[in-house]
């Protein structure tokens, strides 16, 4: 009987440590999925506008709580609503906070020309959660990847 109690205590300790580790893993996995979804939408908007010979603008508001990003045609007055989306603005969940951005202007955003090339002199980047994930838009090609 004492052996059975000892085994149950050991299993309880193991189970509680496993559940704590799984919770942290689940949170990091959800963050990665949100970052990858944002990257896919940027790539899709780029491909969509290249096919229609139109430029587009990516605006990122990392000061908002929660963080948001928006897509626009040629100017910031015309919303770019992608197929299967209900809006041109996307709000990230609270756990996917954008902490900084480089070469993406607050007022003008990141402008892509009709060939899908970003109109900046250096790579643009969007940093999540103080560097855990980064979306990089390569200049001059417009290729987007995750770090």
Per-residue pLDDT reduced to its tens digit, 106-141: 888 999 999 999 999 999 999 998 778 999 999 999
Please indicate whether residue 14 or residue 44 has the higher confidence score (pLDDT): 44
Return the pLDDT at 23: 67
Return the pLDDT at 6: 87
Say what the pTM is.
0.82
* Mean pLDDT of the region 70-86: 89
Return the pLDDT at 76: 78
Residue 81, pLDDT above cutoff 80: yes
Most confident stretch, 71-75, 94-98, 105-109, 141-145: 141-145
77-84's contacts with Cβ under 8 Å and 24+ in sequence apart are: 80/45, 80/48, 80/49, 80/56, 82/41, 82/44, 82/45, 82/48, 83/48
Residue 9, pLDDT above cutoff 70: yes
CATH value at residue 112: 3.55.40.10
Per-residue pLDDT reduced to its tens digit, 20-56: 666 667 778 888 999 999 999 999 999 999 999 999 9
CB 42 within 8 A of CB 58: yes
How many structural domains is the chain composed of? 1
Domain residues for the domain of 71 are 2-146
Per DSSP, helices labelled H in the chain are 2-51
What mean pLDDT, rounded, does the chain reach? 89
Return the pLDDT at 46: 95
């Amino acid at each position: 009987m004492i052996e059975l109690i000892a085994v149950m205590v050991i299993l309880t300790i193991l189970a509680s440590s496993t559940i704590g580790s799984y919770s942290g893993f689940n949170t990091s996995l959800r963050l990665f999925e949100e970052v990858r979804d944002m990257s896919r939408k940027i790539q899709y908007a780029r491909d969509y506008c290249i096919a229609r010979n139109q430029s587009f603008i990516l605006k990122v508001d990392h000061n908002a709580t929660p963080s948001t990003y928006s897509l626009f045609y040629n100017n910031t007055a015309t919303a770019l609503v992608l197929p299967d989306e209900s809006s041109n603005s996307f709000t990230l969940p609270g756990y996917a906070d954008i902490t900084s951005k480089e070469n993406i202007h607050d007022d003008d955003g990141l402008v892509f020309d009709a060939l899908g090339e970003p109109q900046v002199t250096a790579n643009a980047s969007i940093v999540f959660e103080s560097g855990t994930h980064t979306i990089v838009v390569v200049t001059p090609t417009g290729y987007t990847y995750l770090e």
